[in-house]
Structure 1
Amino acid sequence: MAQTPLIENRHDGGFLVSEARGHRSRDAATFSGAVKHLPGEVVAKKAGGTATAAAKAGNTGNGVFTLDATTPVLPSAKAGIYVVRCTIAATNSGTFRVFDPNGEVVGDIVVGQTFADQIKFAIADGATDFVVGDEFDVDVSVVSGTFVPLNPTATDGTQIAAGISFGTYDATLADVPGLVVVRDAEVNGAELIWPTGITAAQIATAEGQLVTRGIITR
């Protein structure tokens, strides 16, 4: 006797193998992107927020510090004041170290290059060289918490996997609230939803980005 097979649809959290006790693995979030998000979709944090930059009074160097005009605040940014301080002086150059609002080192930038980690800016050389201790402060506020589908070919921060959609959230017409798994969880790799056309190498990169958040693919 023929039977009609039953097909289980995706359900909230169905991709989870394990997570932290309570709801510590999940955060409330806003979903965007003009799409319908499904449980298990790998998502990225949308760049957003405002930032202002100012040179420290008494700087010796007169090079120009310029925040990116389009996305000065990247998805992983924190609200507060970033310190960009010259640590190595050089003729017509120099190296600056970037500290986040908690005082943690984000990275280094050489004069003449563009920095793009949490905040995005460039430092141009001036007529007077920078000296060790010259500094710029970047005040970041209104950091976005909006999640969109991962886009591995993007350059605006949405190429960085930041979590996994816990449920179904229809953001086709407008942003909607939801839950996202952002830390300390094991997930079933066969249940994850990736962007169309993503390569094996890009998946491996994204899985590595999730590992840094304590999200392990099994």
Structure 2
Amino acid sequence: MVSPVLNEHFYTGAFLVREANGYLSRDKGELVNETTADVSYEAGLVLSDVTTAVADFVVGGSNTGNGTIGAITVADGTTPTNYEIVFTDATDFTVSGPDGSELGAGTAGTALTVGGLTFTVTAGTTAFVAGDSFTIVVVPGGPKQYVPYTGAAAAAAILFDRVYVEADTAKHVAVVTRMAEVNGQELCWDPSVTSAANASTLQSEALNQLAALGIVAR
């Protein structure tokens, strides 16, 4: 009689060497199965963050002009943060990032694409003056969403527990996103990574990206 073949899966959190006290190293999120087949994902799977972002604007408190900003389109991968718009005269303005660096310049009435945002500032019945401002606030559009790391987007988390996700659906999961030391030999990778000609490069890049977030592989 031939004995059945038994496959042992990675245990919950077995890849962890140590993590921060309590649940500080972990977050809740959604694991998205973008394929047309049901998939069982192993604990220790390296993930990318594909959360979409949305944007709104806040009018400067001392604006003279009463213009506004229309719909704001946010490109995939845009970092949630604040962008400052400051007018230099009645029609021209600059756009700066959170660190104060200038990202671009635009003109009222003309669509501008800068920093992953596309928008149009529209003049009102009262003209803008130098110093008038807006703040564009970019925030996640919902729960953090993750997919298996393939190299297309930066590695951002590690799946804490094995989970089964049906085709074209998502499931709530726990992920490790910060302040952790992990066993690199017990991390799991998407087949597109392990079968790639540059697999070692992709894995090295992912580990460096995780290290930048405070997740160190040993």
Using the size of structure 1 for normalisation, the TM-score is 0.66
Letter in 1 for 2:51: A
Write the mapping of 1:1-218 to structure 2, written as runs, cut at 5 A.
8-34=8-34, 35-53=39-57, 56=60, 58=63, 67-68=72-73, 71=76, 74=77, 77=80, 82-86=82-86, 95-99=94-98, 105=99, 108-111=102-105, 114-116=114-116, 121-122=117-118, 134-138=133-137, 140=139, 142-153=141-152, 159-173=153-167, 174-195=169-190, 196-197=192-193, 199=198, 200-218=200-218
Which structure: larger Rg? Answer: 2
Structure 1 stretches of 4+ with a deviation exceeding 4 A read 5-8, 54-57, 62-66, 92-95, 123-133
Contiguous gaps of at least 5 residues in structure 2: 106-111
Letter in 2 for 1:67: I
Letter in 1 for 2:174: L
In the alignment, is the contact (CA less than 8 A) between 1:47 and 1:75 conserved in 2? no
In the alignment, is the contact (CA less than 8 A) between 1:26 and 1:183 conserved in 2? yes
Secondary structure in 2 aligned to 1:206? helix
Once residues 96 and 70 of structure 1 are traced to their aligned partners in structure 2, the CA distance between those partners, rounded to angstroms, is 16
Letter in 2 for 1:36: S
Q: Deviations over 1:36-88 (max 9, x none)?
A: 3211111122223533346647377x9988633664xx47537xxx342349x
Relative distance call for 1:65 and 1:138 in structure 2 (3 A) is farther
Tell me the C-alpha RMSD between the 2 structures. 4.0
Identity over the aligned pairs, expressed in percent? 22
- Number of equivalenced pairs: 193
Relative distance call for 1:59 and 1:169 in structure 2 (3 A) is farther
Secondary structure in 2 aligned to 1:151? coil
Letter in 1 for 2:137: V
In the alignment, is the contact (CA less than 8 A) between 1:165 and 1:180 conserved in 2? yes
Relative distance call for 1:162 and 1:29 in structure 2 (3 A) is same
Contiguous gaps of at least 5 residues in structure 1: 100-104, 154-158
Using the size of structure 2 for normalisation, the TM-score is 0.66
Q: 35-44 or 130-139, which moves further after superposition? A: 130-139
Relative distance call for 1:55 and 1:21 in structure 2 (3 A) is closer
Once residues 214 and 106 of structure 1 are traced to their aligned partners in structure 2, the CA distance between those partners, rounded to angstroms, is 26
Letter in 1 for 2:148: P
Secondary structure in 1 aligned to 2:97? strand
Letter in 2 for 1:169: V
Once residues 212 and 175 of structure 2 are traced to their aligned partners in structure 1, the CA distance between those partners, rounded to angstroms, is 16
- Give the CA deviation at 1:161: 1.5
- Give the CA deviation at 1:126: 9.7
